Amino acid sequence: MNIDKVLQSVFGFQEFRTGQREIIEDILHKKHVLAVLPTGTGKSLCYQLPGYIINQPVLIISPLLSLMEDQVQQLKANGEKRVVALNSFLSEGEKRRALEKIESYRFIYASPEILQNGKVVQALKRANIGLFVVDEAHCISQWGHDFRLDYLRLGDVWEQVGQPTALALTATATKEVIADIIHYLNLNHVTKHIYSVDRPNIAISVKRVTEIEEKKQSVLEYVRTFEGPGIIYCSSRSWAESLSLFLKTNHHARVEYYHGGMEQSQRLLVQQQFINNQLDIICCTSAFGMGVNKENIRFVIHFHPSSQLEAYLQEIGRAGRDGKDSIAVLLYHESDDGLASSLMEMELPSPGVIRHVLLTIKGYENVHDIKSFEHHIRNMMGIDETHWRFIRYYLQKEQILTDEGFNRHFDVEMMMKEIVQATNERFRDKSKKYEALKQFVSATSCRRERLLAYFDDELVDRPTNCCDCCGIEFEDYHSKNNDSLKKWVFHDWEKELALILRQSE
């Protein structure tokens, strides 16, 4: 089947974007591919189009449940019925039924965590997977900005399901990250498609402020003057909520907040309202943005800096996916450094939490009931899910935790030492990443050059509006039609969600 015809008949596009054709052709020739494509350049097409040609299921491993669900819904909206997402959103009954007919699906999305389940892997083995896709593949690498320990096991999963053609996709990868991806996926003879991470249509600016109130006033001025829609990134849930309220009170903008602590229905509602132009501004944590299919975002503001340059590049890349001029502004205050350090510490389990979990395993009676144990530590003991995943990886590595249950015959002090050492190393890695971001913030020469150099890339053509060090005409990003925004009145979550769902039918 001709790929150009599939592109037009199935996806409605007349031509491929940069890199897509070459990647797809290599996949169809059964070559393993590692592709680095800038955010917003259509990475999903690189595996979705082959799915209509190879006549075998495509397995896509995705790190975020929201991203996975978004892509499933987009495929269904385009008429694709043979798609399923294997993740924690499924009930046991739904998961069982999906696995029973797994070979009937064209696209199978799965979280890396669910692929640690032997029954799931056996079902996938039966399905005769034709293409094994690792989305956001930088998560495999200890140098990646969103390192996920469960990703380290994907090489074993790939071998168990028959070593099908593999595609690793990411928008941010240094040489070290690329080497890690290939190594941990156990791939040989990989064809690399590495494209520049530069997004020349996005102007880059950093503004230093002397107090937090100046930050808030700067944001207020930007949202009053910049052409929307826009995203404002905050480092915490509380800041996302308070900044949203501040903008509503002082600007009467169509603005809402978004973070991982909200109910799923609320997150879905806010996301759909933003996509459908019922909201102009989202104040959010890093939980928002990945996979959001909205091309006309005109500005991204970082109220707090990202934790590292990889995350920063991903987040500003939400802007200007339509190729039109957009702007990214990072606001920096000295107190951000202490906040960043605290957040890095909070992402990792403390020695007290580690010891508590290990001692609980030692005394746990139902050693064969892993689900009950996980429910116990998360709901009864209040252990953060991210912390549990970190500890669980080392328990599995030392065969203390297996599919059959727990082996309680282990030395608590030795395991303590191993896991604490791992957390300390991870914290040092995170700190180095943040230092690189601080150097970017402190730059006095071209920020774009510095950003590209971090990713072993170089600036070829300097755009007119490059960065604040080179000079930006901020008026180019000012709104031309502030008075044309439609008035939107919020009712309640249930009514608004019902309206959104009716519109998408």
At 229-245, the pLDDT tens digits run: 999 999 999 999 999 99
- Sheet arrangement for strand 326-332: 202-208, 326-332, 299-302, 230-233, 281-284, 255-258
Report the DSSP pairing between strands 255-258 and 190-194.
unpaired
pLDDT greater than 70 at residue 329: yes
| Per-residue pLDDT, 147 | 65
Each residue of 101-114: pLDDT tens digit? 999 999 999 988 88
Mean pLDDT, residues 483-505: 52
Mean pLDDT, residues 399-423: 91
Asked if residue 393 lies in contact with residue 417, where contact means CB atoms within 8 angstroms, the answer is no
Mean pLDDT, residues 3-11: 92
| Closest by Cα among 415, 399, 426 to 354 | 415
Asked if residue 37 lies in contact with residue 19, where contact means CB atoms within 8 angstroms, the answer is yes
pLDDT greater than 80 at residue 350: yes
How is the chain split into domains, by residue range?
3-194, 202-336+473-504, 348-467
Each residue of 185-222: pLDDT tens digit? 998 899 999 998 899 999 999 999 999 999 999 999 99
What is the rounded average pLDDT for all residues in the chain? 89
477 half-sphere exposure, CB direction, 13 A CA radius: 30
Please report the DSSP string for 440-480 in residue order.
HHH-SS-HHHHHHHHTT---SS--SS-BTTT---GGGGB-S
If one counts every other C-beta atom within 10 angstroms of the C-beta of residue 440, the result is: 20
Each residue of 436-450: pLDDT tens digit? 999 999 999 999 999
| Per-residue pLDDT, 439 | 96
- pLDDT band at residue 72 using 50, 70 and 90 as cut-offs: confident
Handedness of CA 352, 358, 362, 368 (dihedral sign): positive
Say which residue, 488 or 25, is predicted with more confidence: 25
Mean pLDDT, residues 378-394: 87
Q: Which fold has domain 202-336+473-504?
A: Rossmann fold (3.40.50)
Cα 54 from Cα 41, distance rounded (Å): 23
For the ranges 12-16, 85-89, 268-272, 343-347, the lowest mean pLDDT is seen at 85-89
Mean pLDDT, residues 113-122: 88
CA distances from 289 to 75, 229, 335, 391 (A): 18, 13, 25, 28
Q: Which CATH architecture has domain 3-194?
A: 3-Layer(aba) Sandwich (3.40)
Tokens found for residue 180: 């890690």
For the ranges 145-149, 173-177, 415-419, 480-484, the lowest mean pLDDT is seen at 480-484
| Per-residue pLDDT, 385 | 83
- pLDDT band at residue 485 using 50, 70 and 90 as cut-offs: very low
Tokens found for residue 318: 């939400």
Burial class (CB in 10 A: 0-12, 13-18, 19+), 489: exposed
377 in the Ramachandran plot: left (φ > 0), alpha (ψ -120 to 50) or beta?
Answer: alpha
Each residue of 263-299: pLDDT tens digit? 878 888 898 899 999 999 999 998 887 667 788 999 9
Asked if residue 247 lies in contact with residue 267, where contact means CB atoms within 8 angstroms, the answer is no
320 half-sphere exposure, CB direction, 13 A CA radius: 22
| 3-class SS letters over 24-90 | HHHHHCCCEEEEECCCCCCCCHHHHCHHHCCCCCEEEECCCHHHHHHHHHHHHHCCCCCEEEECCCC
Cα 410 from Cα 416, distance rounded (Å): 11
User: 3-class DSSP state for residue 321?
Assistant: coil
Asked if residue 56 lies in contact with residue 129, where contact means CB atoms within 8 angstroms, the answer is yes
Mean pLDDT, residues 79-101: 87
Each residue of 425-435: pLDDT tens digit? 999 989 999 99
| Per-residue pLDDT, 338 | 94
| Per-residue pLDDT, 245 | 95
| Per-residue pLDDT, 489 | 47
pLDDT greater than 50 at residue 81: yes
- pLDDT band at residue 88 using 50, 70 and 90 as cut-offs: confident
Report the DSSP pairing between strands 58-61 and 299-302.
unpaired
Widest pairwise Cα distance in the chain: 69
| Closest by Cα among 131, 134, 161, 159 to 146 | 134
Cα 254 from Cα 229, distance rounded (Å): 10
Say which residue, 329 or 484, is predicted with more confidence: 329
| Per-residue pLDDT, 483 | 46
| Per-residue pLDDT, 499 | 57
| Per-residue pLDDT, 486 | 43
User: 3-class DSSP state for residue 109?
Assistant: strand
| Per-residue pLDDT, 267 | 85
Asked if residue 141 lies in contact with residue 176, where contact means CB atoms within 8 angstroms, the answer is yes
Say which residue, 14 or 364, is predicted with more confidence: 14
One fold for 3-194 and 202-336+473-504: yes
pLDDT greater than 90 at residue 48: yes
